[in-house]
Structure 1
Amino acid sequence: MSLLTGAVVLLAMACVANLLLLVAVLRRLREHQERLDAVRPIGDTDETELAPGQQIGGFTATTTSGDEVDQQSAVAGTTYVGFFSPTCPPCHEQLPLFLERLPQDARTLAVVLDDGDSPQERAEMVTRLKARTPVVIARPGDEIVQAFGVSAYPAMFVLDGDGVVQAGGHTVASLPRLQAV
């Protein structure tokens, strides 16, 4: 009889442990969902991003080197702009392609999202980008993010000298001037 009692107690403890684990997993999923919602609000689609022919909005931002950039100074000629998030796997895939395929004499600007997570990954991403282009660190909802209507990452744009989007997309292949030759 004590063997049966021991088995029931052991089974009850396993059930309680399983329940506690389930609660922890659900809590963690809720936290991740909140983080995702901060980067891309529910219901938003890529349609909120600027399409070819649209003008970028006004913004003022400071680069990691302390220089001020705004919509006028950022587009004094054809300019390539890339938005990247350190917590986004596709961003890590597209970043090397973006840097590799930029024309050497191109005007560029990179924006790295600071969503409060992954400070080490963000620092590594900024370091890689700074070697090639000015970098702005922005939070979701900052002027520069809103000026381009970015709601999903990565986002890349080719602008003309008037700040009009010539091409845009989420992959380097979506930018005609950066496609592999």
Structure 2
Amino acid sequence: MMELLVLGGAVLAVMVVLNLLLTFALVRRVRALQDRVSNVPARDPALPQPGDAVGAFQAATPEGGLLTDEALRSGVNLVGFFTTGCHPCATLRAQLLESPPRLPLMAFVEGHEDDPAARELGAALGAIARVAFITETDSVTKAFRPAGYPTLIRVENGTVAASGHQLRDVLS
């Protein structure tokens, strides 16, 4: 009887060890799959698509200059859309100021130039970009159709080459 009890305990111990090994293998596999999925960023379907032509627009800068679609017809440019009170916009602004892109940058700030927060955002971006203030209904918004804030668009020869909400989406 004692031998049967020892044998049953040994079989149970082996089954517990096998179960533990299988559980660890399963956890390792799930983590590998999570890593693979998290490395593939989800693309916002509302963003301008690569190959879309940039529509006609013009926007006045605070200095009296004019930003137009003609400036984007040749070469590679970066276009950014920002708004006040937006934490992701503040994070992106800090990244851009810390390590400015090597591409010419047009920055559009939603809001009126008389708004102190918009003026501050525009002034900060003015160190690295040509800046204009826009509204949701002006020609710039219609030309690019930004999907929320911030939105970045890399334009090559008048055509959208890449778009996203983070620098890595457009510079990679």
Q: Could you state the TM-score of these two structures normalised by the residue count of structure 2? A: 0.68
- Conserved? CA contact 2:100–2:128, under 8 Å: no
Q: Pick from 146, 149, 157: which aligns with 2:145?
A: 149
1:109 aligned partner, one-letter code: M
CA distance in 2, matches of 1:58, 1:145: 10
CA distance in 2, matches of 1:119, 1:156: 23
- Conserved? CA contact 1:50–1:56, under 8 Å: no
Q: Pick from 116, 129, 133: which aligns with 1:133?
A: 129
1:129 aligned partner, one-letter code: L
1:69 aligned partner, one-letter code: L
Query: After TM superposition, which residue ranges in structure 1, 4 or more long, deviate above 2 angstroms?
Result: 46-49, 98-104
Ranges in structure 1 where 5+ consecutive residues have no aligned partner: 1-45
CA RMSD after TM alignment: 2.1
Cα deviation, residue 113, structure 1: 0.3
CA distance in 2, matches of 1:109, 1:56: 14
CA distance in 2, matches of 1:122, 1:62: 15
1:80 equivalent in alignment to 2:75 = no
1:142 aligned partner, one-letter code: D
Q: Secondary structure at the match of 1:58?
A: coil
CA distance in 2, matches of 1:123, 1:107: 21
1:78 aligned partner, one-letter code: V
User: Looking at CA atoms only, which structure, 1 or 2, has the larger radius of gyration?
Assistant: 2
Query: May I ask how many residue pairs the two structures share in their alignment?
Result: 129
CA distance in 2, matches of 1:147, 1:49: 12
Give the structure 1 partner of residue 50 of structure 2. 52
Cα deviation, residue 75, structure 1: 4.0
Q: Sequence identity of aligned pairs in percent?
A: 27
Ranges in structure 2 where 5+ consecutive residues have no aligned partner: 1-43
